[in-house]
Amino acid sequence: MDQVTGKTTVRQRLVETATRLFYENGYRATGINEVIREAGIAKASFYAHFKTKEDLLVTCLEQRHNQMMAQVQAFIADARSPAERVRRLFVWLGDPQSCGSRGCPYLNMASEFQDAGSRVREVVRWHKCSFRNMLRDILALHFMGKSKTTEQVEQAAEELYLLLEGALAASPVHCCSWPVETALRIAEDRFQLGG
Amino acid sequence: MDQVTGKTTVRQRLVETATRLFYENGYRATGINEVIREAGIAKASFYAHFKTKEDLLVTCLEQRHNQMMAQVQAFIADARSPAERVRRLFVWLGDPQSCGSRGCPYLNMASEFQDAGSRVREVVRWHKCSFRNMLRDILALHFMGKSKTTEQVEQAAEELYLLLEGALAASPVHCCSWPVETALRIAEDRFQLGG
Amino acid sequence: MDQVTGKTTVRQRLVETATRLFYENGYRATGINEVIREAGIAKASFYAHFKTKEDLLVTCLEQRHNQMMAQVQAFIADARSPAERVRRLFVWLGDPQSCGSRGCPYLNMASEFQDAGSRVREVVRWHKCSFRNMLRDILALHFMGKSKTTEQVEQAAEELYLLLEGALAASPVHCCSWPVETALRIAEDRFQLGG
Amino acid sequence: MDQVTGKTTVRQRLVETATRLFYENGYRATGINEVIREAGIAKASFYAHFKTKEDLLVTCLEQRHNQMMAQVQAFIADARSPAERVRRLFVWLGDPQSCGSRGCPYLNMASEFQDAGSRVREVVRWHKCSFRNMLRDILALHFMGKSKTTEQVEQAAEELYLLLEGALAASPVHCCSWPVETALRIAEDRFQLGG
DNA sequence: AATGAATGAGTGTTCATTCAT
DNA sequence: AATGAATGAACACTCATTCAT
């Protein structure tokens, strides 16, 4: 939304439409024509804003990252303890409303860009590292005063990250909640989250 | 290979070529033309063997499943204990030779077929369940005589499955071995695999 | 024309249509759509026969070269002397029926491919050299027994070539016959063509 | 340059940039976007100065004509005789610095505007006639006192024009200097330019 | 069983031009 | 006088699929 006029800008409409379509149908299965039709924008206007379709995707992923990080932070913000914050991560993950039921948009896109040096893969890597860092910060609080080395905290973050990633990957395949529950169970035992 | 004539059949050449290309470049990024060119088959011959491109993919995934299950079974076969068999699962997973460094081909394909009822998603689900059942059978042996209920074994299988899935998803993003090592560490502690 | 069936092949229809359109409107001003519409061919069929639009052009130029050389040879064939053959070259050049009134198709195309290494420029150069060699062979006969060195014949060929080129370039600009007549006049004097 | 402010005007920057780009790449191969980008001008500003792209080209050709005529006049001005002036025309023609190595910009443009009534073709014709007239004026001086009729001088002008045109057309095809040298040799003999 | 030739509908991208400001 | 944003139509090219042989 443009803060002054209150109208969504052309660029923003394109990003939002594309974010949705790329997630729902995949990158290659989504044509520029579909994006501009649903956004109600002329084709040449699209190319005035984005050099290529891949550029659009990169922008979508970057923007989605920011929104998602804000969302998840908000979702866990009012927890009473770091432990509960971790538990709420799994709740957030399991909620199709917040997280989408078609798996991780970043992993999905990465699967269509296998070229090692691709900009898309870079964004995906950056997003995942960013997410893992957030986990580390939460766990650092949780372990405070429990005489853990920095390295131990890092390792715990990687473990938690891996559990969440496993749940995220398995959920859309099986279309049910046991992956999230299973990952949470492991995390609770391993990091003494238990209430 | 045709067991009698010793020649690879046309159909088999198509499946093998497509399996490779779909995995390396993705489903939509791989054209029929590319497949038949690399397989050295005429286009109309292709459509004599497969109704559609999607049919080819389904066949590829089914066939790969069988090969992969056989491979992994062979890889862990000569382990001295169920615990070591589990550990070797992670070795196998971490070896790009055996498992490919572009992530799980089934998850990759699923990301391009988001339609819930798609035959591709069915195959993926079937493959993953099948794999999880194999894990359950291994763990059942490992827990034998340790007074575990059937349900407990099932849960352990789901946990192990989830750890492997997490490692499989995270590996190609970060292009290094810590995901597999991290997943193994959790598994060793949780299932007392340690030697 | 296919000699057996008596039908023009798809490829040949494309080449003939494109040769005409490229000459009438220029290379970039002629779209693939226009070519295939006038040839009555589907777009994908076009790309089954030619890798790119530029490929089509190269083929057109090569084919036109062969036809044109044959035509001009036929046109001057029944002359009674080499000198008359040279004079008939100018007649042929001045006849819009035989040579086209839009200038030299090779020079025209070259002007749209300024990149030094372009394949189109190569074909143009090859065509022009080929033509000059034909002139040299005619002049060699004309000068036979007049004690001219090989080098002198070569020089005369270059001079004749240059006169023809000048006439070819000037004609479509001024849309009248004086360039050809002027070039012929110079040639007659310089090479003693006069009857 | 604006004589008062010392700044190149917007219009002039557009003309100069376009003149260069049209010559280097051709008319249709040069987009408006490229012109305005390299000129550093907004698109709408362009259309404030020129009705269409073709208008811009016409302006470019007109302006270039004036510059070129002035240049060539300056180049031959300090020659000691009309004969040397003619010889210097060929020197000027053969110098890529002065004349460009991509052939005659007017012939090049004409090849992209085959429509007989096109304004571009008109400008080209006007330019060429203008040039031929200049040649006639030089030759008139050269032949002064040699009892030549007006008609004979006109014919000589056409001959000289044709030789220059031939050299201009052949040079960029063969990328070497023999066309100019050949044309000069013919001219020297024919018009007794020799010193 | 296998093929060479052909296709309609689509792809991503660029074009010269206009309009509201 | 100058602009940033937008556009419809066209561009060269590729797609998965079919058909006559």
CATH assignment of the domain containing A111: 1.10.357.10
Average pLDDT over residues A13-18: 95
Same domain? For B16 and B108 the reply is no
pLDDT tens sequence across B136-158: 999 999 999 899 999 999 999 99
Same domain? For A57 and A137 the reply is yes
The pLDDT of residue B165: 97
Average pLDDT over residues D75-86: 94
Which single residue has its CA nearest the C1' atom of nucleotide E5? C45
Structural domain count, chain D: 2
Could you give the CA distance from residue A85 to residue A128 in angstroms, rounded to a whole number?
A: 19
Token digits for C16? 């003939």
The pLDDT of residue A195: 60
The answer to whether B165 contacts chain A (CB < 8 Å) is: yes
Same domain? For A46 and A57 the reply is no
Alpha-carbon distances of A80 from A87, A98, D116, rounded to whole Å: 11, 21, 84
Answer yes or no: do D114 and C185 touch at CB < 8 A: no
The pLDDT of residue C5: 47
Instruction: Show residues of chain D in contact with C107, CB under 8 Å.
Output: 103, 107, 111, 169, 173
The pLDDT of residue D96: 83
Instruction: Show residues of chain B in contact with A114, CB under 8 Å.
Output: 24-26, 102
Half-sphere exposure of C6 (CA within 13 A, CB side): 0
Asked if B45 CB < 7 A from strand E, the reply is: yes
Asked if C41 CB < 7 A from strand E, the reply is: yes
Which single residue has its CA nearest the C1' atom of nucleotide F10? C31
pLDDT tens sequence across A109-157: 999 999 989 999 999 999 999 999 999 999 999 999 899 999 999 999 9
- Residue A113's region, left for phi above 0, alpha for psi from -120 to 50, else beta, is beta
Average pLDDT over residues D180-189: 97
Same domain? For A44 and A57 the reply is no
The pLDDT of residue C99: 78
Average pLDDT over residues D45-69: 96
Asked if A44 CB < 7 A from strand F, the reply is: yes
Answer yes or no: do B168 and A163 touch at CB < 8 A: no
Average pLDDT over residues D90-119: 92
The count of residues in chain B is 195
Name, in order, each residue with C-beta under 8 angstroms of A35's C-beta and a sequence gap of 6 or more.
Answer: A14, A17, A18, A21, A46, A56
B116: helix, strand or coil: coil
Answer yes or no: do B112 and A186 touch at CB < 8 A: no
The gap between B45 CA and F19 C1' (Å) is 13
The gap between B23 CA and F18 C1' (Å) is 28
Helices (H), chain C: 10-25, 32-39, 43-49, 53-77, 82-94, 96-99, 105-112, 119-143, 150-174, 178-191
Least Cα distance to D123 among D110, D108, D104 occurs for D110
The pLDDT of residue A52: 96
Nucleotides of F under 7 A from a protein CB: 1-20
HEC string for A66-97: HHHHHHHHHHHHCCCCHHHHHHHHHHHHHCHH
Same domain? For A18 and A61 the reply is no
The answer to whether D90 contacts chain C (CB < 8 Å) is: no
Start-to-end Cα distance in chain B: 41
pLDDT tens sequence across D33-50: 999 999 999 999 999 999
Asked if D32 CB < 7 A from strand F, the reply is: no
Confidence band of A96 (pLDDT split at 50, 70, 90): confident
Identify the H or E element spanning D10: helix D10-25
Residue A2 has pLDDT above 70, yes or no: no
| Domain containing residue C28: CATH number | 1.10.10.60
Same domain? For B71 and B33 the reply is no
Answer yes or no: do D182 and C128 touch at CB < 8 A: no
Contact by Cβ (8 Å): D163, C179: no
Token digits for B157? 């299988």
Token digits for B59? 């066949």
Asked if C52 CB < 7 A from strand F, the reply is: yes
The answer to whether D161 contacts chain C (CB < 8 Å) is: yes
Cα–Cα–Cα angle for C13, C17, C18, rounded to 5 degrees = 115
The answer to whether D110 contacts chain C (CB < 8 Å) is: yes
Low-confidence spans in chain B with pLDDT less than 70: 1-7, 195
D 17-56 residues with CB < 8 A to C: 24-26, 28-29
Average pLDDT over residues D56-78: 95
pLDDT tens sequence across C43-96: 999 999 999 999 999 999 999 999 999 999 999 999 999 999 999 999 999 988
For B78-88, give one letter per residue: b (16+ CB within 10 A) or e. Answer: eeeebbbbbbb
Considering all nucleic acid strands, name the nucleotide whose C1' atom is nearest to the C-alpha of residue B47: F17
Could you give the CA distance from residue B31 to residue B57 in angstroms, rounded to a whole number?
A: 12
Dihedral, CA atoms, B33, B34, B40, B45, nearest 10 degrees?
-30
pLDDT tens sequence across B19-39: 999 999 999 999 999 999 999
Chain A residues 17 to 46 whose Cβ lies within 7 Å of strand E are: 28, 30-34, 43-44, 46
Same domain? For C118 and C74 the reply is yes
pLDDT tens sequence across C151-187: 999 999 999 999 999 999 999 999 999 999 999 999 9
Which single residue has its CA nearest the C1' atom of nucleotide F5? A45
Same domain? For A68 and A122 the reply is yes
Contact by Cβ (8 Å): C55, C14: no
- Residue B86's region, left for phi above 0, alpha for psi from -120 to 50, else beta, is alpha
Residue D5 has pLDDT above 80, yes or no: no
Same domain? For D175 and D103 the reply is yes
Average pLDDT over residues C126-131: 97
Average pLDDT over residues A89-117: 91
Which domain range does residue B94 map to? Answer: 55-191
Average pLDDT over residues D66-84: 94
Same domain? For C35 and C93 the reply is no
Token digits for D83? 């004969």
pLDDT tens sequence across D153-177: 999 999 999 999 999 999 999 999 9
Do A and B touch, counting CB pairs below 8 Å (3 needed)?
Answer: yes
Could you give the CA distance from residue B83 to residue B160 in angstroms, rounded to a whole number?
A: 12
Chain D residues 43 to 62 whose Cβ lies within 7 Å of strand E are: 43-44, 47, 52-54
Confidence band of A1 (pLDDT split at 50, 70, 90): very low
Please classify residue B171 by burial: count the beta carbons closer than 10 Å to its beta carbon, then call 0-12 exposed, 13-18 middle and 19+ buried.
Answer: buried
Least Cα distance to B61 among B118, B126, B114 occurs for B126
Same domain? For C41 and C94 the reply is no
The pLDDT of residue B3: 52
Answer yes or no: do A112 and B172 touch at CB < 8 A: no
Start-to-end Cα distance in chain A: 42
The pLDDT of residue A4: 46
Which residue, of C33, C50, C67, is where some domain finishes? C50
Average pLDDT over residues C102-126: 95
The answer to whether B158 contacts chain A (CB < 8 Å) is: yes
The answer to whether B166 contacts chain A (CB < 8 Å) is: yes
pLDDT tens sequence across A28-37: 999 999 999 9
What chains are in contact with C, requiring at least 3 Cβ pairs below 8 Å?
Answer: D
User: Which of D110, D125, D166 is nearest residue C162 as measured by Cβ atoms?
Assistant: D166
The DSSP output letter for D7 is P
Same domain? For A10 and A78 the reply is no
